[in-house]
Amino acid sequence: MKAAVLHAIGKPPHFEQFLDPTPGEGEVLINVSAAALKPVDKQMAAGTHYASPREFPVVCGMDGVGRLEDGSRVFFGGARRPYGAMAEQTVVRRVQCFSVPEELDDVTAAAIPNPGVSAWLSLKHSAKLAAGETVLILGATGVTGKLAVQIAKILGAGRVVAAGRNEHVMSTLHELGADSTIRLDKPDEELIAAFRREAGEKRFEVIIDYLWGRPTEALLKAITGKEFAIGESETRLVEVGESAGATITLPAAVLRSTALTILGTGGMPSWDILSDAFQQVMNSVARGTLRIETERVPLAEIEDAWERDAHAHRLVVIP
């Protein structure tokens, strides 16, 4: 079969012939229809992810959409190495396959689960977003950030503030449900003032942070209290990504003056929670209340696609 084959850490995969997979006990053979090319796929190949491969050659791609031998269509994840999703065929455990709504095309069905489920779990499971709360999406112009804006509204957020750096994408966020936007390419003092203005007296109750680094430091300065306060609402900040920096400076005054809880996204939720999030996301897309922009890429062009910067839309590899 043809596949996107990685021969060494730090190199793009090559389009070439690879050994056909044979399913073992509890596994199924999948004829792959589409596989999304995600940042985590590149991190795995670059050796910067904790689960990066250590033996080569290996096929790239964590998840995708395909058909089982009985013809049923599924979304799958976690192929048995050395196999992966960016190939004509792969093998996975049967329990790691999920049915796909018939209304969805293969490209959308492959593109939406990874970022969509991540955003859903960050908002509902980690932040425990309640109806009517104010949400700040820090890093709202990326694929997952755009979905988080939409999902916050689906989950009942009263107000969603979207902060980002891509000027073109920023202009489209109101259409996705953002009530207000903040440009992050401002000088520090202007950015801090913008965060304070949007937080108002009620403060942000939920913050989903895909950036960390300088934008988060500016945000923390903005929400630091200037006087004693009693009974103020809690702010739950969920740290998801670090595209603006791997570290921050956290002054003690932030935590001492503000009812702030900082959470991570490490650790897998229960299978029931994960399955429910998947179904909710897929059903929202099928109903048209959740949208993702995609671009089809032939598997034969994987080397060129690997080097492209597709920040606001998802590249989807077609075998």
pLDDT at 229: 55
One domain for residues 120 and 162: yes
pTM of the model: 0.92
In sequence order, the 6+-apart residues with CB closer than 8 A to the CB of 12 are 45, 302, 303, 306, 307
Within a domain: residue 287?
no
Whether the CB-CB separation of 15 and 299 falls below 8 Å is answered with yes
Write down the pLDDT at residue 240. Answer: 95
Q: Can you give the C-alpha Rg of the chain in angstroms?
A: 21
Q: Assign residue 313 the CATH number of its domain.
A: 3.90.180.10
Note whether 34 and 169 are same-domain residues: no
10 lies in some domain: yes
- Both 192 and 235 in one domain: the answer is yes
Q: Assess if residue 65 is contained within a domain.
A: yes
Q: Who contacts 54 (Cβ-Cβ below 8 Å, separation ≥6)?
A: none
How would DSSP label each residue in the chain?
Answer: -EEEEE-STTS--EEEE-PPP---TTEEEEEEEEEEE-HHHHHHHHT-STT---SSSEE--SEEEEE-TTS-EEEEE-PPTT--SSBSEEEEEGGGEEE--TTS-HHHHHHSHHHHHHHHIIIIIIS---TT-EEEEETTTSHHHHHHHHHHHHTT-SEEEEEES-HHHHTTGGGGT-SEEEES-S-HHHHHHHHHHHHTTT--SEEEES--HHHHHHHHHHH--SS--SSPPPEEEEE---TT-S-----HHHHHHS-EEEE---SPPPHHHHHHHHHHHHHHHHHTSS---EEEEEGGGHHHHHT----SSEEEEE-
Tell me whether residue 84 is in a domain.
yes
Pairing of strands 134-138, 159-164: parallel
Query: 96 with 119, same domain?
Result: no
For residue 179, being part of any structural domain is answered with: yes
Range of the domain at 130: 115-263
Helices 113-120 and 271-287, interaxial angle, to 10°? 110
What's residue 232's pLDDT?
Answer: 64
129 and 259 housed in the same domain: yes
Q: Are residues 107 and 131 in the same domain?
A: no
Q: Are 44 and 68 in contact (CB under 8 A)?
A: no
Taking the chain (319 residues) in runs of 10, the rounded mean pLDDT of each run is 96 96 95 95 89 93 96 94 97 94 94 96 96 97 96 97 93 95 95 93 90 96 76 86 92 91 87 91 94 96 90 92
Tell me, yes or no, whether 95 and 154 share the same domain.
no
Same domain, 131 and 206: yes
Q: Calculate helix-pair angle for 143-154, 113-120, nearest 10 degrees.
A: 50
**pLDDT at position 228, please?**
58
The reported pLDDT for the residue numbered 227 is: 65
Residue 314 lies in a domain: yes
Check whether residue 120 and residue 257 sit in a common domain. Answer: yes
Q: How far apart are CA 45 and CA 13, in angstroms?
A: 8
The strand pairing partners of 37, in sequence order, are 315
| Residue 281: predicted pLDDT | 96
Residue 273 belongs to a domain = no
The count of structural domains within the chain is 2
Same domain (yes/no): 53, 140: no
Cβ 45 vs Cβ 34: under 8 Å? no
What does each C-alpha distance from 153 to 23, 177, 196 come to in angstroms? 42, 7, 22
Answer yes or no: is 272 within a domain.
no
Q: Measured between alpha carbons, how far is 63 from 47 in angstroms, rounded to an integer?
A: 18
pLDDT for 144: 95
95 and 218: one domain? no
- The reply to whether 86 and 127 lie within a common domain is no
